[in-house]
């Protein structure tokens, strides 16, 4: 699914965000990317989405060569990826239903199929009754559940989340993790950057730890490993 070989990312100001990183992630895995603030987690995620290019090294995502990719191919890469951010990034002028349907319109789905798919992902995140609400009428946890529904509506092979529980209280964070667990059980690969020690220690999934742009640990069924 994801093959990263000898990848480095040096920003224009000279910041070394990733330093010769090698990572392979297979279909169906659930992987936490952990590390302190500034370690390189978001840069790793930006490379997967081709929001940034590596300075050196090779990277394939879903069988596509992200480094050599033409600009026109980028939307096809992104259609295979569901992305979730700490700050939800919903469209404030659109309802819950429209926010999710909008993600489908981009791929020109027929209207009836669109309605069925939106209802089905709203059921998965437990928000069917809120479909007419605007984001401002929802709690943070509910907004993040809408963002997850939007991320999975096109049935992506990989869900990529950058600190998705970063703005949520512990109980709400667990609602989010329960949804990720269910999505992963259905076969979707999950890559989640986080510095939530309790979540990582409790979930016992694969843990890749980054420090100053370097992979310092890669363990199956790991824990967070250290205090922040």
Between 10 and 157, name the residue whose CB sits nearer to ligand ADP. Answer: 10
Residue from 17, 124, 149, 161 touching ligand ADP (CB under 6 A): that is: 17
Is the distance from CB of 46 to CB of 85 less than 8 angstroms?
no
Does 136 help bind ligand ADP (rule: CB under 6 A)?
Answer: no
Q: Tell me, rounded to whole angstroms, the distance of Cα 10 from its chain centroid.
A: 22
Gap between the Cα atoms of 168 and 76, Å rounded: 31
Residue from 37, 71, 129, 136 touching ligand ADP (CB under 6 A): that is: 37
Does 76 help bind ligand ADP (rule: CB under 6 A)?
Answer: no
Closest approach, Cβ 47 to ligand ADP, in A, equals 10
Alpha helices in 19-90 (DSSP H): 41-48, 74-79
Gap between the Cα atoms of 189 and 184, Å rounded: 6
Between 15 and 91, name the residue whose CB sits nearer to ligand ADP. Answer: 15
Does 15 help bind ligand ADP (rule: CB under 6 A)?
Answer: yes
Gap between the Cα atoms of 166 and 77, Å rounded: 26
Closest approach, Cβ 200 to ligand ADP, in A, equals 14
Closest approach, Cβ 49 to ligand ADP, in A, equals 13
64 CB neighbour count, 10 Å cutoff = 16
* Residue 169 token pair: 């209280």
Q: Which stretch binds ligand ADP (CB under 6 A): 37-45, 76-84, 94-102, 148-156?
A: 37-45
Q: Name 80's Cβ contacts closer than 8 Å, sequence gap at least 6.
A: 61, 62, 156, 157, 158
Binding mask 15-44 for Mg ion (x = CB under 5 A): --------------------------xx--
Does 226 help bind ligand ADP (rule: CB under 6 A)?
Answer: no
Residue from 29, 30, 43, 192 touching ligand ADP (CB under 6 A): that is: 43
Does 86 help bind Mg ion (rule: CB under 5 A)?
Answer: no
Could you tell me which of 4, 52, 39 has the C-alpha nearest to residue 24?
4
Gap between the Cα atoms of 19 and 95, Å rounded: 42
Closest approach, Cβ 50 to ligand ADP, in A, equals 15
* Interacting residues toward Mg ion by CB under 5 A: 41-42
């Amino acid at each position: 699914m994801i093959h990263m070989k000898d990848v480095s990312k040096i920003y224009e100001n000279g910041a070394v965000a990733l330093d010769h990183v090698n990572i392979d992630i297979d279909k169906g895995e659930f992987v936490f990317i952990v590390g302190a603030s500034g370690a390189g987690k978001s840069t790793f995620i930006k490379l997967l989405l081709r929001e940034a290019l590596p300075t050196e090294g090779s990277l394939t995502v879903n069988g596509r060569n992200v480094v050599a990719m033409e600009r026109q191919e980028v939307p096809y890469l992104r259609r295979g990826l569901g992305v979730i951010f700490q700050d939800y990034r919903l469209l404030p002028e659109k309802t819950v239903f429209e926010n999710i349907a909008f993600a489908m319109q981009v791929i020109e789905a027929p209207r009836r199929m669109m309605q069925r798919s939106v209802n089905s992902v709203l059921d998965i995140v437990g928000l069917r009754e809120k479909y007419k609400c605007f984001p401002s009428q929802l709690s943070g946890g509910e907004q993040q559940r809408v963002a997850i529904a939007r991320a999975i509506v096109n049935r992506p092979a990989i869900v990529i989340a950058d600190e998705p529980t970063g703005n949520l209280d512990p109980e709400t964070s667990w609602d989010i993790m329960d949804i990720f667990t269910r999505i992963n059980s259905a076969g979707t690969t999950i890559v989640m950057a986080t510095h939530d020690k309790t979540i990582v220690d409790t979930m016992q999934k694969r843990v890749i730890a980054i420090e100053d742009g370097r992979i310092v640990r890669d363990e199956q069924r790991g824990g967070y490993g250290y205090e922040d």
